[in-house]
Amino acid sequence: MSQKPTFAAIAFGLAIGFTGAANAAWQPAKPIEFIATAGPGGGTDNFARAVQNIVTKYKLVEQPIVVVNKAGGSGAEGYTYTKAMAGDPYKVVFGTSNAWNQPMVSKVAYNYTDLTPIAAMVQDEFLLWVKQDAPYQNVQDFIKAVAAKPPGDVKMGGAQSKDTDETLTRMIDKAAKVKFVYIPFKSGAEAAVQLAGGHIDAHVNNPSESIGQWKGSTQRPLCAFSPQRLPDGPKVTATQNWHDIPTCVESGLAIPQFQQPRTVWLPGKVTSDQTAFYVDLMKKVQATPEWKEYIERTSQTDTFLTGDAFNKFIKEDIERTRKVAADEGWLISN
Amino acid sequence: MENLEALMHGFGIALSGNHIFLMVIGVLLGILVGVLPGLGAPNGVSLLLPLTFGMQPVSAIILLSSMYWGALFGGSVTSILFNIPGEPSSVATTFDGYPMARDGRPTTALATAFGSAAFGALAGVVLITLAASWVAQVALAFGPPEYFAVYFLAFASFIGMGGSPPIKTLVSLAIGFALAAVGIDTVSGSVRLTMGIDEMVKGVSFVVAVMGLFGIGELMIAVEEEFHVKAISSKVEWREVFRTLVGLPKHGWALLRSAAIGCWMGITPGGPTAASFMSYGIAKRLSPRRANFGKGEPEGIVAPEAADHAAGTSALLPMLSLGIPGSATAAVMMGGLMIWGLNPGPMLFVEQKDFVWGLIASMYLGNVVAVVLVLLTVPIFAALMRVPFFIIAPVIVIICTVGAYSVSNSYLDVMLMMGFGVLGYLFKKLHYPLAPLVLAIVIGDKAEDAFRQSMLMSKGSLGIFFAKPLVTTLILLGVALLLMPTIWRTIGRMMPRSEVKP
């Protein structure tokens, strides 16, 4: 009996060794730079460092890895830098959907087509949050209360301008036929504190941005912008976990899905061997228990989009954002 | 008194051989990154972070926060000896610290700075101990209008400070605002003032600006007046260190006032930079030796240092209780907290008592360790001042170049730094104050964001700044400070007239 697992293990090891050998067409020969397009402590920074830790721990790459933060210009600094590094396979940039959305609404010096897509590895979820002692028990109550006030009286906070948070706010406006005034802050964490202080009425933070405040009973989620409820898990408050929060569609707000992909890119003009190496590397990262732990800790959704599937996802996301951006008059004329 | 009990429990945790060892290591590494070019507290803490993953959260935070204290003290060293402030909050220390060191009293300057800083830090920790449960409420009262009011107060106190003609201060502030606006605008999301240089989208870094303005600018002045730069004859004496420390209570009033300003600015999210500037300004206004400020007046070192450390220390409280990191270093530490599986927020004080009170107790001990270590090394640092100018000058150029480059590995920053050097030189020659320029670069865009967020909230009505008692008080205080010079001048003009009449 004891031989079987051993045999399986050997076979598994061989298989991994074999795939490793098959992909060994290109191997890094000098230190690799991970560029996080967000400041230390932000979601994208945590993402890049989680990947770095796993790669280092399992020695998936022989070369050392350095994480560099290039957060200036809402991430544009990192992308612009990577664009200038065309052909250099030792720069890996970590970002979100702003890689393709930011150039649409802002005159930055790059476009996502200047980069080589590797993968979308995680989808961060969005929820609608209100202050703990707000009178609304569900989305319907809240929307009714917003509709009863003059347009622009109810304040929705969020991170950055014309990025995911504001796009989602405008989608809520449309779906529920209301009008929020959107107040942009530097980060979701800042918006969360403003909500706790009662300076704004709602925000659409990711789970990890507001879990502390939910635990501390200063704010609570009304619904999740996901096709099904978030996965079951340990209780966050005394009585509830993420799975207890209804989806927005379920509670009558017709936005079936809104997620923030966490994306990995190389500079443009790298070879297909180099691209394949990093796609494979990220797959190996995703197979580790540490990755599972990262996903759970941040309450995100695991995913792995690469190649055509990733391109299709980008196209669809651009389509959707462009619609909102066009209605709001955000599109820049290049 | 519940808090005192918890604190005693905290000391029980922090006072283990292991933790004391971590404190010494942390402080020494901190002093090192504080003194070394291009490495600040945030970088140092980031580099150390991966080493803490295997540790208990308490041990990890003790190591990281000790490094922070060490770096804060180390930053004062470069401000005083080389006129290169490592952090925005130590800019004000250069105003009197550097002249004093240049006049041959580096030991006195350093000892004064460390002594006052220790007092400020102590005040901050005592405040945290006593007010831990209450403080979160104060910080929560701060919405965009309140933030704007605090920044307004900082700017106004500068214009009213009376050191330079208000119009020159205004010009300096305005240039700073323009520089702070470079890059992506938070409120509209559009790119501003990049002059067609793609990379400028990241904005103008504070480090690049101060390296040029103070480091290079001062160097050019020194080169011009080379023969005025004295070879410093200081005998480094331990007795001088002790004499200075014993003499500190002479400035008791200034110490208390500065620590109070620091604590207030630390809890309310004004931050250490605004605190040190404001404290310096007020000290200058109230001191009978006003004319001595800027020429090596001890109180000019006491005021910013005590306020800076009081604010830096008490600013950890909003990070722990609300999850608002007050500084880049606090942001890195907060990232660490999350990785260790802790969620900063009000519940931290309830769920993680050991962690919170262990940390607070370690703040007392860590600062004591830091002061002892840093005082022991004062003579070594002071000896640096005896190195001849022709060696120091190129070293300063190297420090500034490496420092500017390492901000984001960019040559553009090195060019900018040189440009700021020229600007700093011109400012000095034309007697324009540099401090308002730096202040505006650091908090100008925050003030702008807060103002525009307020306008969005009120649909464009300025009434929002007078809607609540807190914000109204802050704004009125700011206006009073702003009008001070004019009022005083008017009174001054009336006085002689009334004397002439009878």
All structural domains of chain B with their residue ranges: 2-499
Helix (H) or strand (E) holding A66: strand A65-69
Nearest CA in chain A to B412: A81
pLDDT of residue B44: 74
pLDDT of residue A13: 45
pLDDT of residue B131: 77
pLDDT tens digits for range B353-380: 888 888 889 889 998 899 889 888 777 7
Distance (Å, whole) CA B421 – CA B210: 9
Nearest CA in chain A to B202: A72
Among A63-72, B167-176, B331-340, the range scoring the smallest mean pLDDT is B331-340
Inter-residue long-range contacts of B203-207, CB under 8 Å, 24+ positions, other chains counted:
B203/A72, B203/A73, B203/B445, B204/B179, B204/B180, B204/B416, B204/B441, B205/B407, B205/B408, B205/B413, B206/B88, B206/B438, B206/B441, B206/B442, B207/B40, B207/B403, B207/B404, B207/B407
Q: How far is CA B243 from CA A74, A138, B238, in A?
A: 51, 67, 9
Q: Which among A232, A240, A233, A245 is positioned nearest to A129, based on CA atoms?
A: A245
pLDDT of residue B346: 63
| Subunit contact A46:B338, Cβ cutoff 8 A | yes
Report the relative pairing of strands A155-159 and A181-185 from DSSP bridges.
Answer: parallel
Distance (Å, whole) CA B161 – CA B3: 39
Number of Cβ within 10 Å of residue A2's Cβ equals 6
Q: How confident is the model at residue B63 (pLDDT cuts 50, 70, 90)?
A: very high
pLDDT tens digits for range B206-215: 778 878 888 8
Bridge partner list, A219: A131
Tokens of B10: 């905290």
Residues 44-83 (B) with a CB less than 8 A from some CB of A: 46, 50, 53
Higher-pLDDT residue of B207 and B474 is: B474
Q: How far is CA B459 from CA A182, A292, B149, B250, B462, in A?
A: 11, 45, 18, 52, 9
Tokens of A61: 């790459």
Identity of the residue in B201, B325, B334 whose CB atom sits nearest the CB atom of A108:
B201
Identity of the residue in B201, B344, B409 whose CB atom sits nearest the CB atom of A109:
B201
pLDDT of residue A8: 46
Helix (H) or strand (E) holding A157: strand A155-159
Distance (Å, whole) CA B338 – CA B360: 19
- Residue B502 clears pLDDT 80, i.e. is over it: no
Identity of the residue in A39, A70, A108 whose CB atom sits nearest the CB atom of B191:
A108
Share of chain A above pLDDT 90, in %: 74
Number of Cβ within 10 Å of residue A44's Cβ equals 25
Q: By the 8 A CB rule, do A100 and A68 touch?
A: no
Q: How confident is the model at residue A46 (pLDDT cuts 50, 70, 90)?
A: confident
pLDDT of residue B135: 63
Identity of the residue in A41, A73, A213 whose CB atom sits nearest the CB atom of B331:
A41
Helix axes B389-408, B217-224, angle to 10 degrees: 160
* A32-36 sheet: strands from edge to edge: A65-69, A32-36, A91-95, A259-267, A115-125, A301-305
Q: How far is CA B280 from CA B155, B207, B287, B310, in A?
A: 13, 21, 10, 14
pLDDT of residue B226: 63
Higher-pLDDT residue of B266 and B412 is: B412
- Using the Cβ of B192 and the Cβ atoms of chain A, whether some distance falls under 8 Å is answered with no
Identity of the residue in A40, A190, A211 whose CB atom sits nearest the CB atom of B42:
A40
| Subunit contact A184:B187, Cβ cutoff 8 A | yes
Distance (Å, whole) CA B446 – CA B146: 12
pLDDT of residue B163: 63
Identity of the residue in B139, B331, B453 whose CB atom sits nearest the CB atom of A40:
B331
Among A16-25, B112-121, B315-324, B471-480, the range scoring the smallest mean pLDDT is A16-25
Bridge partner list, A156: A182, A202
Q: Which among A332, A327, A16 is positioned nearest to A179, based on CA atoms?
A: A327
Q: Average pLDDT in the A301-319 region? A: 94
Q: Which positions in chain A touch B138 (Cβ < 8 Å)? A: none
Spatial neighbors of A129 by CB under 8 A, at least 6 apart, are A192, A195, A202, A203, A204, A205, A210, A219, A220, A221, A222
Q: Which positions in chain A touch B190 (Cβ < 8 Å)? A: 106-107
Q: Is ipTM beyond 0.95?
A: no
Q: By the 8 A CB rule, do A266 and A275 touch?
A: yes
Identity of the residue in B139, B190, B345 whose CB atom sits nearest the CB atom of A213:
B345
Task: State the amino acid at position B205 in one-letter form.
Answer: S
Nearest CA in chain B to A160: B186
Q: What is the helix, strand, coil percentage profile of chain B, to 5? A: 80, 0, 20
| Subunit contact A199:B325, Cβ cutoff 8 A | no
Length of chain A: 334
Q: How confident is the model at residue B36 (pLDDT cuts 50, 70, 90)?
A: low
- Using the Cβ of B407 and the Cβ atoms of chain A, whether some distance falls under 8 Å is answered with no
Q: How confident is the model at residue B39 (pLDDT cuts 50, 70, 90)?
A: low
- Give A213→chain B minimum CA distance, Å: 6
Q: How confident is the model at residue A128 (pLDDT cuts 50, 70, 90)?
A: very high
pLDDT tens digits for range A148-192: 999 889 999 999 999 999 999 999 999 999 999 999 998 888 898
- Residue A306 clears pLDDT 90, i.e. is over it: yes
pLDDT of residue B329: 72
Give me the phi and psi of A278, to 5 degrees please. Answer: -75, -35
Residues 458-477 (B) with a CB less than 8 A from some CB of A: 459
pLDDT of residue B306: 94
| Subunit contact A185:B345, Cβ cutoff 8 A | no
pLDDT of residue B496: 56
Among A132-146, A268-282, B405-419, B458-472, the range scoring the smallest mean pLDDT is B405-419
Q: How confident is the model at residue A68 (pLDDT cuts 50, 70, 90)?
A: confident
Among A10-24, A296-310, B218-232, B244-258, the range scoring the smallest mean pLDDT is A10-24
The DSSP code for B212 is: I
Distance (Å, whole) CA B153 – CA A168: 36
pLDDT of residue B37: 54
Distance (Å, whole) CA A240 – CA B398: 57
| Subunit contact B456:A80, Cβ cutoff 8 A | no
Burial B372-391 (b: 16+ CB within 10 A, else e): ebbbebbbebbebbeeebee
pLDDT tens digits for range A30-42: 999 999 998 766 7
Q: How confident is the model at residue B328 (pLDDT cuts 50, 70, 90)?
A: low
Residues 257-316 (A) with a CB less than 8 A from some CB of B: 297
Q: Average pLDDT in the A299-325 region? A: 93
| Subunit contact A77:B338, Cβ cutoff 8 A | no
Q: How confident is the model at residue A295 (pLDDT cuts 50, 70, 90)?
A: very high
**For the purposes of burial, counting CB atoms within 10 Å of the CB of A303, is it exposed (0-12), middle (13-18) or buried (19 or more)?**
middle
| Subunit contact B50:A189, Cβ cutoff 8 A | no
| Subunit contact B328:A39, Cβ cutoff 8 A | yes
pLDDT tens digits for range B103-152: 888 889 989 999 999 999 999 999 888 877 676 677 778 889 998 988 88
pLDDT of residue B38: 55
Q: By the 8 A CB rule, do B3 and B133 touch?
A: yes
Q: By the 8 A CB rule, do B365 and B14 touch?
A: yes
Q: How confident is the model at residue B499 (pLDDT cuts 50, 70, 90)?
A: very low
Give me the phi and psi of A128, to 5 degrees please. Answer: -100, 120
Spatial neighbors of B211 by CB under 8 A, at least 6 apart, are B84, B399, B400, B403, B404, B417, B420
In whole angstroms, what separates CA A68 from the centre of its chain?
19
Among A150-159, B68-77, B181-190, B412-421, the range scoring the smallest mean pLDDT is B68-77
Distance (Å, whole) CA B58 – CA B13: 9
Distance (Å, whole) CA B322 – CA B268: 12
Q: Average pLDDT in the B452-475 region? A: 93
Q: Average pLDDT in the A93-117 region? A: 94
Q: How confident is the model at residue B274 (pLDDT cuts 50, 70, 90)?
A: confident
Task: Report chain B's mean pLDDT, rounded to a whole number.
Answer: 83
Q: How confident is the model at residue B322 (pLDDT cuts 50, 70, 90)?
A: low
- DSSP strands (E only) in B117-264: 183-184, 191-192
Report the relative pairing of strands A127-131 and A219-224 from DSSP bridges.
Answer: antiparallel
Among B201-210, B246-255, B257-266, B462-471, the range scoring the smallest mean pLDDT is B201-210
Distance (Å, whole) CA B41 – CA A330: 39
pLDDT of residue A6: 46
pLDDT of residue A54: 93
Report the relative pairing of strands A32-36 and A65-69 from DSSP bridges.
Answer: parallel
Q: How far is CA B438 from CA B452, B453, B496, in A?
A: 22, 23, 38
Spatial neighbors of B125 by CB under 8 A, at least 6 apart, are B313, B360, B363, B364, B367
Q: How confident is the model at residue B395 (pLDDT cuts 50, 70, 90)?
A: confident
**For the purposes of burial, counting CB atoms within 10 Å of the CB of A8, is it exposed (0-12), middle (13-18) or buried (19 or more)?**
exposed
pLDDT of residue B325: 62
pLDDT tens digits for range A195-239: 988 999 999 999 988 888 898 888 999 999 999 999 888 888 889
pLDDT of residue B466: 95
- Residue B298 clears pLDDT 80, i.e. is over it: yes
